[in-house]
Amino acid sequence: MDRDLWSGLAIFGEIVEAGSFAKAATRLGLSASALSHAMRVLERKLDLRLLDRTTRSLAPTSAGEALLLRLRPAMASVEEVLGLLDGAREHPAGRVRVNAHRPAAVHLIMPRLPALARDCPDVLVELVVNDGFVDIVAERFDCGVRHAQGLQGDMISVRISNPVPLIFVASPHYLADHGRPEHPDDLAQHRCVSYRHASSGALHRWEFEQNGITSERAMPHNFVTNDVDVMRDAALAGLGVACLIKAQASHHLMAGDLIEVLSGWAPTLPPNHLYYPNRRQPTAAFRAFLAAMRL
């Protein structure tokens, strides 16, 4: 729509409601001469006289009255929408779309959602689990969660976890059949459960860390998956040695279903960060979600 036309219509409605140019000018913070000019432009564009004016009074013409009958509901709808936007800035309500890798979704986000649901019941969280990298802007997510080394440089990031320890594990019956590896070199004689990166399609190279020295190598494997929970299940099933996030394996370690191997060789991943596009006016719902996720 013509910007001058839309502005003129809003000014016309304000003048009629105020009953004078002077009062309308005070409401709008403009001069009476500016309003008079806007009305002349509007009437010229529409080729209609909308106001009958004298030195003491003004009233809409019949054409002006007909226009107002349609204009007032439209302006009320606009004001209602603007009011909803104001509410979105103040009251936490509405949807927050989040993209996170599975361990973060399970061990970081989900445990913090009950408090958010209690304190902000009108916030709807849509959590999409994806272990690959996603363009959160193109896919219309409000934020994502990844380890620090995977963040895009033009994003705002907030740390939501401590560094994430990994652990090498195998099932008791696998170790009974194949022996226990004591050194990374021993894995050449073992079966390994490997991970294929969802985004690049590359097989993950295992990392080893001891005394501040880090190395990585490709592992012999007899089972490959792109899902970290399936990796855990494969280790539980005795398919081989797996490298898991420690939190993912802790319950099974306590139950004796998995046993740690290569103790002291497992590396630690960087902390998880919640990241989102630089935005000047985030909604109250997003601010509430962000506050709930902080350490």
What is the distance between the alpha carbons of residues 89 and 286, in angstroms, rounded to a whole number?
A: 10
For the chain, domains (ranges, CATH) are 3-90 (1.10.10.10), 95-163+271-293 (3.40.190.10), 164-269 (3.40.190.290)
Residue 246 φ/ψ, nearest 5 degrees: -60, -40
- Cβ neighbours of residue 159 under 8 Å, at least 6 residues apart? 148, 271, 272, 273, 295
Asked whether 95 and 285 are in contact (CB, 8 A), the reply is yes
* Exposed/middle/buried for residue 107 (C-beta within 10 Å: 0-12, 13-18, 19+): middle
At residue 27 the predicted structure's pLDDT band, cuts being 50, 70 and 90, is: confident
pLDDT of residue 86: 59
Mean pLDDT of the chain: 88
What is the distance between the alpha carbons of residues 131 and 158, in angstroms, rounded to a whole number?
A: 19
Chain-centroid distance, C-alpha 214:
33
Q: What is the pLDDT of residues 167-191, one digit of tens each?
A: 999 999 999 999 999 999 999 999 9
Q: What is the pLDDT of residues 37-75, one digit of tens each?
A: 888 888 888 888 888 877 677 888 888 888 888 887 877
Element (H, E) at 242: strand 242-245
pTM across the whole model? 0.67
Q: What is the pLDDT of residues 176-229, one digit of tens each?
A: 999 999 999 999 999 999 999 877 888 989 999 988 888 988 888 889 999 999
How much is the average pLDDT of 234-262?
96
